[in-house]
Amino acid sequence: MKRFICFLVAACLLMVYWGGPEAKINPLKKDKLISLTDGKNRTPHATAFNDSFFTDLHIGTFWFPAISNKGYVGYWDLSAYYPGGGDQSNVWQAGMWAGGYVQGRSFAWRYLGSDGSDSDGAQYDTLDEQAIVETEADFGYPYPYRRLTVHVNTATKPFVVSAGDTVDGDMGMDITYEWHQWGVPDYDHWIFVHVTIAFSKSIDDFWWGWMSDCDVGDVNVPDVYFDDFAGWDDTYKFAYMRDWDYDPLAGQPEAETTVDSLFLSPNAIGQILLAAPPVGGPISDPPDITQRWISKNYWDWNNDVSSVQNQYDRLAGIWINPFPPEDEFDYRILNGVGPYDVSAGETAEFWMAYVIGEGYDDGSRATFGLGTLIDHVQDAHAFFDGAMVIPPSAISPLAPDLDPDLDVDVVADQLNVDWAPYNDIAGGAIADSFFIYVSTISKLGPWERVAAFDNTVTSTTVNLIPGFFTYVWVQAYDVDNGVGSNPYALSSRLYEVDESGILRANENTITSVIGNTAAETALGNITVAPNPYVGTNEAELEEFETLLGFHHLPEQCTIYIYNLLGNLVDIIHHDAPSGSEFWDMTTRSGESISSGIYIYRVKAENGEEALGKFAVIKGQR
């Protein structure tokens, strides 16, 4: 039932988006425009996300394939990954909320910046302009950086209350959003949002805030929406969401599924106020770094906003739920700062940030040891208070590019690893050492360091396990500054220019190779792995893929596979310099085999034969 509800909600959102208005062109910085034309020209399976907005806006540990100017952090199946490159992902809808009483109106109004739509006159984003994405090249920074800018003016849309009764929807606000990301380790756990509002109307009791509808955890798990918690940190004054799989609230028992969810995310997502005009003074005063959120709120699907006045009351803290909730569910969190009295002609600036950590304040179950949410909240405040300056000593070297020639570099059970030396490709530190890491589990590790060299060495040999994948990456390290490359960080990826002239990061910082055995003339050493085959094989990287390996074969031979009734199931012809061959466990007619015991017969070119057997136990993957 939960899956059906999620599917229905997703379908409705897609219908709304595909039916939305076309975005108009921003006349400024046309060379920096990122096309966000609506879904009318897309299909559900289209690969239309091929501009740098969607493919390159992922930086460091905090990896976002998409921050849309419609307010989404993550976009459909393009979710927000943390840490970057991993399968532990989060997605949430987010945006600015504001409210007040315009020029003496007796009823509150609202502004939602979460998602522009014709159906709701209070939502404005993307209705009049497209996004501008600028990179480190535009500012001369020696490290990866992205700034996404969106401009919205409330004068573009009337607020339709009901048929025949139209109220002026111009709230008198000209709004500019800037989303900032940095691609430097220890500075890539957050995204800063800078909002500037120019007021053309006077507003009483104005509140400014931010709402997030977070789904924390692996988005591939159907119940990701239903096991989260909302929380409030009273020390640093911010609201957050966290995944129940790892971090139960204080005094509450661990989730029953904790043992079975070792690969789910322990992430916690917070929204902090970095600076705002001091409450009680003119809204045009400079942002104060000591100002914190005034109101805090959360709610679930069953207790959503019921009216314009109700939304304003939630933003202003008049209507409030006490933190924390008693049960896990899919929550929305909202923070606000105010009230302010606004005069026409004034301009206000606000700074807030999204911060992610592995766990809220306890990193004992963290997979990557990246630091907790509380750690990163403190670091984010310190970075902002220090004028957002990244010291040169913090900029890591790049991870070398690994792109092996599998026909040449893989020799039986060894991989020849080669990498090119480089100097200061993207600014930052120059590597004086190279460390070679290997994992036999996954592209996420755990990693074992198997060799270390100075920067004059550019190759080594790594042993492989026959029939299984081995994952390899080379860390470039700068001893003087004590910083090393991260294979998942955009700063650690080498760059290539695509056919459109856009500078992109390649994906060759980690290589995965399946091990073979050397060819043998004697047939008595032939083995099958895994045997028995139970449900899956670690060599299977693709969904629904099935592989069974035959090893220690001669260079040329034929493998005949029979069931216990003696029926021929399949014939495999092996002709390769290695002694390994893999079978997809389908019959000669392409049908998947069933569980059972099978017989194999290997016939060499010289006529010699060998017999053996293996078992297959199929299961749900």
Backbone CA torsion sign across 6, 7, 12, 17: positive
Q: How does pLDDT run across 547-556, given as a tens digit for each residue?
A: 788 988 998 9
- Note the pLDDT of residue 442: 77
Which residues lie below 8 Å from residue 255, measured CB to CB, with a gap of 6+? 227, 244, 245, 248, 261, 328
Q: Which is higher by pLDDT, 477 or 352?
A: 352
- How far is CA 577 from each of CA 38, 460, 613, rounded to the nearest angstrom? 52, 22, 24
- Note the pLDDT of residue 154: 83
- Note the pLDDT of residue 256: 52
Domains of the chain: 2-390 (no CATH), 395-514 (2.60.40.10), 523-617 (2.60.40.1930)
How confident is the model over 27-37, as a mean pLDDT?
37
Q: Which is higher by pLDDT, 509 or 21?
A: 509
pLDDT at 82 exceeding the cut of 80: no
- Note the pLDDT of residue 225: 64
- Note the pLDDT of residue 160: 60
3-class SS of residue 431: coil
Q: How does pLDDT run across 301-347, given as a tens digit for each residue?
A: 788 888 888 889 999 999 988 887 877 777 899 999 999 999 999 99
- Note the pLDDT of residue 38: 32
Q: Which two tokens stand for residue 610?
A: 């060998």
Lowest-confidence segment of 135-144, 184-193, 247-256 by average pLDDT: 247-256
Q: Give the Cα separation of 257 and 249 in Å (integer).
A: 15
pLDDT at 257 exceeding the cut of 50: no
The answer to whether 585 and 592 are in contact (CB under 8 A) is yes
pTM above 0.75, yes or no: no
- Note the pLDDT of residue 541: 53
- Note the pLDDT of residue 167: 62
- Note the pLDDT of residue 128: 43
pLDDT at 562 exceeding the cut of 70: yes
Closest CA to 486 of 140, 143, 53, 91: 143
pLDDT at 294 exceeding the cut of 90: yes
Lowest-confidence segment of 88-97, 473-482, 546-555 by average pLDDT: 88-97
Which range has highest mean pLDDT (56-60, 166-170, 317-321)?
A: 317-321
Which range has highest mean pLDDT (408-422, 476-490, 597-611)?
A: 597-611
Query: Could you please report the per-residue DSSP string of 477-494?
Result: EETTTTEE--TTSGGGS-
Band of pLDDT at residue 2, cut at 50, 70 and 90 = very low
Band of pLDDT at residue 543, cut at 50, 70 and 90 = low
With vertex at residue 265, the alpha carbon angle to CA 263 and CA 268, rounded to the nearest 5 degrees, is 165
- Note the pLDDT of residue 569: 94
pLDDT at 398 exceeding the cut of 90: no
Lowest-confidence segment of 218-232, 329-343, 524-538, 600-614 by average pLDDT: 218-232
- Note the pLDDT of residue 15: 31
How confident is the model over 510-523, as a mean pLDDT?
83
- Note the pLDDT of residue 130: 59
Q: Which is higher by pLDDT, 566 or 121?
A: 566
Lowest-confidence segment of 281-285, 334-338, 544-548 by average pLDDT: 544-548
Band of pLDDT at residue 366, cut at 50, 70 and 90 = confident
SS (H, E, C) 107-143: CCEEEECCCCCCCCCCECCCCCCCEEEEEHHHHCCCC
- Note the pLDDT of residue 195: 95
Lowest-confidence segment of 238-247, 267-276, 609-618 by average pLDDT: 238-247
Band of pLDDT at residue 193, cut at 50, 70 and 90 = very high
Which residues lie below 8 Å from residue 122, measured CB to CB, with a gap of 6+? 109, 110, 111, 112, 159, 169, 308
How confident is the model over 584-600, as a mean pLDDT?
89
Which range has highest mean pLDDT (2-16, 292-306, 355-369)?
A: 292-306
Phi, psi of 378 (to 5 degrees): -60, -40
What are the percentages of helix, strand and coil residues in the chain, rounded to 5?
10, 40, 50
pLDDT at 611 exceeding the cut of 90: yes
Burial level of 82, CB count in 10 A (0-12/13-18/19+)? buried
Largest interatomic CA distance in the chain: 98
Share of the chain above pLDDT 90, in %: 28
- Note the pLDDT of residue 210: 94
pLDDT at 260 exceeding the cut of 90: no
pLDDT at 494 exceeding the cut of 80: no
pLDDT at 36 exceeding the cut of 50: no
